[in-house]
């Protein structure tokens, strides 16, 4: 027994030595040792990025599984999802996980983004982290938009129609881009093929690359500390180690999030509407996913013409202003002016309140 | 020997002063022993001696590297453009892929008896959706059913006696197609309706 035990120890040491001689393990170990997480009353928001990353993992796994049975062909797409839902072992579960996972991921990203915004984590030197995060958000919304069409049911058809028509209204490149995405003037097989390729090939590559950069930047700069914490004298600042303390808490939170996801998936499996008919009327009461409800409701309210511009173009431009402000906020609120900082915070609250308010209104109306 | 050593060592240790490579380690001041200005200035560090910019020979060297840099950038852009153009062309399908459908000029929708007063019916008109309405007075009207707001397909609503878009709540007058409520900016394009052999036939206006 003893000799057996020591033999194994020798083997393990051999493996460790083998790796250490070939990879910069010491550097990584040092990095892991140094990485620390500030402890303050807002620390809870630090978990959101991790939750999003975990949910992203679920999306990759379930997405790959779905591709085995999904057929991106206009006459078979809807039927292949029906088959997944009704005949394939655990098919309904995998698909529901993917749909619910996507929704929770978007939710986690919104919370992650707004918490970074309000903690002013976009300030120097973290501008690149902030911008890469915004781009990742856009990529994830594009995932949602392209994935939504693939089951080819009634709602997915009209959601795509509206989305591409909005793109078409954009000045200059709008028509060319929407024509290319749609593969013509109307939504056809060409659109399904294009959205499928974007959803399973282009966006994943972009996402993995950009996420790598985002996470790298987080390691370079360390975890952002809110102003109130930064001002404290050093003896009053407390930290915990990332490895293993925060890491294990992270895993615990992941387990909780997975439970929420599995609960939703099992208790309310994702449905499938009737097959899309490009020549039928839009069904009464049609609504987009919750994360597009706010712009949906907003577009409803705008009159046909606002001055010389068409209402929807005006609405789209107005909504783009929000995006521009989010991109430009590191320049505006760079930490040198208190009043600018306050303005940025108030703007954030207004946008958040607007998003929540319009979403609820859209859901109820 | 000692000369060689010093000429190799000095520039590394003190890169700031411009050093001639003509075998001496002294900085070239224009009137030194390395045999004249022109051979020295070729090796001048421009950061260390701003006056070197004024030298004709130096300008030539600078513009050459500048040219190479620009040529490289230009080549990259050109290559990018050359690669991108076919990709964009590849992704843009030829127009009129559904040419046959677009050629349709009239459609037989249904029998008159199948569309009672105060009802409407959606149907396919070649490449686009259309709607035909039999109003309360027994008048027939037909329109292109693509909402002028964001392109959803509209329908006739018997309860409101108007054409309605379920996506953003736009409303159109059922007999003229005029936009009367909600966000649509324009009226619906009108189609011609006729009764031929007891059948409703819709054609392009």
**DSSP one-letter string for A260-314:** HHHHHHHHS-----SBP-TTSPPPTT----GGGHHHHHHHHHS-SEETTEEHHHH
Tokens of A256: 């909780």
Residue A150 contacts residue A70 (beta carbons within 8 Å): yes
**Can you give the pLDDT at residue A308?**
85
3-state class of A35 per DSSP?
coil
Residues A337 and A190 in one domain: no
Regarding whether A16 and A71 lie in a shared domain, the answer is no
A13 and A98 inside one domain: no
**A46 and A29 in one domain?**
no
Query: CA-CA distance, A204 to A213, in Å (whole number)?
Result: 14
Look at residue A361 in the predicted model and tell me its pLDDT: 94
Query: pTM above 0.95?
Result: no
How many domains are contained in chain B? 2
| Residue B148 belongs to domain with CATH number | 2.102.10.10
Residues A309 and A351 reside in one and the same domain: yes
Whole-number Å distance between alpha carbons of B202 and B110: 10
ipTM: 0.75
Give domain status of residue B136, yes or no: yes
CA–CA separation, B160 and B181 (whole Å): 12
> Are A149 and A173 in contact, with CB atoms under 8 Å apart?
no
Q: Do the beta carbons of residue A102 and residue A270 sit within 8 Å?
A: no
Comparing CB atoms, the residue among A185, A282, A299 nearest residue B183 is A299
Chain B residues whose CB is inside 8 A of the A182 CB are: none
Residues A175 and A104 in one domain: yes
Residue A273 CB partners (closer than 8 Å, separation 6+): A153, A154, A155, A156
pLDDT single digits (tens) B32-76 = 444 444 444 455 555 555 555 555 555 555 688 889 999 999 999
Q: Indicate whether A68 and A96 sit together in one domain.
A: yes
Cβ(A224)–Cβ(A119) below 8 Å = yes
> Could you tell me the two tokens for B93?
């399908």
Write the CA distances from A235 to A227, A230, B81, B88, B188, integer angstroms: 16, 12, 58, 60, 71
State chain B's mean pLDDT as an integer: 78
Domains contained in chain A, number: 3
**Pairwise pLDDT comparison (B4 vs A190), residue with the higher score:** A190
Task: Evaluate whether A62 touches A97 at the Cβ level (below 8 Å).
Answer: yes
Q: What is the pLDDT of residues A184-221, one digit of tens each?
A: 888 999 999 999 999 999 999 999 999 999 999 999 99
Question: Beta partners for B204?
Answer: B191
- Residue B141, in any domain of the structure: yes
Instruction: Kindly state whether residue B142 falls inside one of the protein's structural domains.
Output: yes
CA quadruple A13, A19, A20, A26: dihedral sign: negative
Q: How far apart are CA A276 and CA B152, in angstroms?
A: 13
Residues of chain A with pLDDT under 70: 1-4
Kindly state whether residues A233 and A249 are assigned to the same domain: yes
Residues of chain A with C-beta less than 8 angstroms from the C-beta of B152: 158, 161-162, 282, 286
Looking at the fold, whether B180 and B109 belong to one and the same domain comes out as yes
Residue B70 belongs to a domain: yes
Residue A170: what are its φ and ψ, rounded to 5°? -65, 140
Residues B109 and B195 in one domain: yes
Q: A213 and A82, same structural domain?
A: yes
How high is the pLDDT of residue A8? 86
Same domain as A277, residue A299: no
Minimum Cα–Cα distance from A175: chain B residue: B92
B6 and B63 co-located in one domain: yes
* Nearest by Cα to A96 from A211, A266, A220, A225: A266
Instruction: Among A188, A279, A299, select the one facing B129 at the smallest CB separation.
Output: A279
The rounded distance, in Å, linking the Cα atoms of B52 and B67 is 19
Do B67 and B126 fall into the same domain? Answer: no
- CATH, residue A49: 1.20.810.10
Looking at CA atoms only, how far is residue A159 from chain B in angstroms?
A: 9
d(CA B68, CA B91): 34
Looking at the structure, tell me whether residues B114 and B148 fall in a common domain: yes
Q: What is the span of the domain harbouring residue A362?
A: 294-365
Query: In this structure, are B50 and B137 located in the same domain?
Result: no
Question: Does one domain contain both B109 and B196?
Answer: yes
Q: Give pLDDT, residue B50.
A: 56
CB contact under 8 A, B93 and A300: no
Report the relative pairing of strands B171-173 and B162-164 from DSSP bridges: antiparallel
Phi, psi of B7 (to 5 degrees): -70, -25
Residue B86 lies in a domain: no
Q: Are residues A162 and A263 in the same domain?
A: yes
Dist CA A281 CA B155 (whole Å)? 6
Residue B125 lies inside a defined structural domain of this protein: yes
Residue ending a domain, among A286, A308, A339, is A286
In this predicted model, what pLDDT tens digit does every residue of B150-197 receive, in sequence order? 889 999 999 989 999 998 899 999 999 999 998 898 999 999 999 999
Quick check: is B147 in a domain?
yes
Judging contacts by C-beta atoms under 8 Å, the chain B residues touching residue A176 are 92
> Are A275 and A347 within one domain?
no
Torsion of CA B130, B134, B135, B139, to 10 degrees: 110
CA distances from B38 to A330, B48, B66 (A): 50, 17, 20
Q: Which domain holds residue B137?
A: 105-204
Helices A2-22 and A25-34, axial angle in degrees (round to 10): 90
Distances (CA, A) of B154 to A167, B13, B129, B163, B174: 20, 80, 9, 7, 11
What integer pLDDT is reported at residue B32 of this predicted model? 44
Contact check, Cβ <8 Å, A161/B150: yes
Domain presence at residue B72? yes
Residue of B nearest to A185 (CA): B95
């Amino acid at each position: 027994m003893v000799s057996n035990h020591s033999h194994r120890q020798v083997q393990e040491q051999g493996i460790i030595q083998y790796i250490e001689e070939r990879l910069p393990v010491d550097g990584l170990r040092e990095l892991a040792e140094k990485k620390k997480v500030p402890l303050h009353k807002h620390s809870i928001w630090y978990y959101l990025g991790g939750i999003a990353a975990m949910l992203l993992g679920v999306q990759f796994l379930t997405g790959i599984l779905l591709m085995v049975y999904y057929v991106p062909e206009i006459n078979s797409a809807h039927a292949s999802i029906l088959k997944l839902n009704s005949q394939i072992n655990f098919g309904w579960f995998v698909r529901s996980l993917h749909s619910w996972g996507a929704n929770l991921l978007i939710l986690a990203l919104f919370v992650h983004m707004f918490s970074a915004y309000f903690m002013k984590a976009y300030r120097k030197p973290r501008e690149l982290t902030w911008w890469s995060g915004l781009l990742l958000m856009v990529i994830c919304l594009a995932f949602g938009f392209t994935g939504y069409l693939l089951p080819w049911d009634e709602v997915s058809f009209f959601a795509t129609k509206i989305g591409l028509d909005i793109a078409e209204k954009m000045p200059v490149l709008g028509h060319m881009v929407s024509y290319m995405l749609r593969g013509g003037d109307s939504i056809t097989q060409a659109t399904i093929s294009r959205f499928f390729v974007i959803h399973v090939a282009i966006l994943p590559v972009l996402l993995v690359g950009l996420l790598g950069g985002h996470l790298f930047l987080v390691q370079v700069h360390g975890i952002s500390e809110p102003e109130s914490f930064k001002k404290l004298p050093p003896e009053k600042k407390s930290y915990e180690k990332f490895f293993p303390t925060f890491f294990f808490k992270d895993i615990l939170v992941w387990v909780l999030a997975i439970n929420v996801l599995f609960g939703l998936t099992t208790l309310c499996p994702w449905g499938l509407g009737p097959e899309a008919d490009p020549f039928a009327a839009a069904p009464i009461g049609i609504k987009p996913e919750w994360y597009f409800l706010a712009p949906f409701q907003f577009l409803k309210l705008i009159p046909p013409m606002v001055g010389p511009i068409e209402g929807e173009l005006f609405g789209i431009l107005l909504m783009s202003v929000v995006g521009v402000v989010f991109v430009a906020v590191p320049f505006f609120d760079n930490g040198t002016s208190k009043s600018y900082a306050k303005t940025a915070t108030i703007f954030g609250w207004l946008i958040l309140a607007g998003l929540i308010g319009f979403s609820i209104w859209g859901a109820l109306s | 020997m000692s000369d060689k050593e010093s000429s190799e060592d000095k520039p590394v240790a003190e890169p700031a002063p411009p050093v001639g490579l003509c075998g001496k380690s002294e900085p070239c001041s224009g009137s030194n022993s390395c045999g004249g200005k022109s051979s020295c200035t070729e090796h001048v560090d421009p950061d260390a001696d701003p006056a070197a910019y004024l030298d004709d020979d130096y300008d030539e060297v600078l513009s050459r590297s500048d040219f190479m840099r620009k040529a490289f950038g230009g080549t990259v852009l050109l290559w990018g453009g050359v690669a991108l153009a076919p990709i964009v062309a590849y992704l843009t399908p030829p127009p009129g892929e559904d040419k046959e459908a677009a050629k349709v000029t009239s459609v037989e929708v249904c029998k008159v008896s199948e569309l009672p007063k105060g009802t409407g019916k959606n149907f396919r008109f070649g490449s686009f959706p259309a709607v035909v309405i039999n109003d309360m007075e027994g008048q027939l009207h037909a329109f292109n059913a693509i909402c002028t707001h964001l392109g959803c397909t509209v329908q006739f609503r018997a309860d409101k006696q108007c054409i309605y878009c379920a996506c953003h709540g736009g409303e159109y007058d059922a007999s003229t197609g005029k936009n009367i409520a909600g966000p649509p900016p324009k009226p619906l394009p009108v189609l011609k309706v006729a009764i031929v052999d007891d059948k409703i036939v819709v054609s392009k206006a």
